[in-house]
Amino acid sequence: MLSMIKEKFCQLPFFRRPIFRQFIKFCLVGASNFFIDFSVYLLFTRLFGLHYLPASVISFVVAVTWSFEWNRKWTFRYRNEGLRWQYIKFFIANIISLSLNLGLLSLLIELVHIPDLWAKAVSSLIVAVFNFSLNRFWTFKR
């Protein structure tokens, strides 16, 4: 039954487009990235008592490094540019995303009064779409 659903799904026109497959892979890497980001965030806020903003920055840097490796090798299969320059571009794209994430996080916590863990989840999901586009069309552009 599952294989039949997969077969039918893979026949859909949008699924055959490389950008869609890349987005699915990006989301899978992003899910693991989110788990790492969230786990490190929990560690620093709950165990070490660090304020949510610096904890979010630390968790972000750890997660970005993980994400770079998997997106470079698996999602975009990109090897044309020097590793150092590509990581710099990836990091810049993610710093922009971090800025958006922190802004949304602060807005949701301070103004909307959403609990920090829910705010972290919502802001991360919104920024993921922006981050994919920036990395797809700039960092890993062919």
**pLDDT tens digits along 121-142:** 999 888 988 999 999 889 888 7
At 21, the pLDDT band (50, 70, 90 cuts) reads confident
Residue type (1 letter), 138: W
Distances (CA, A) of 89 to 84, 103, 136: 9, 21, 11
Tokens of 34: 């989110």
41 in helix, strand or coil? helix
Domain ranges, ordered by start, for the chain? 19-139
Tokens of 1: 């039954």
Is the pTM value of this prediction over 0.75?
A: no
Q: Between residues 10 and 138, which one has the greater pLDDT? A: 138
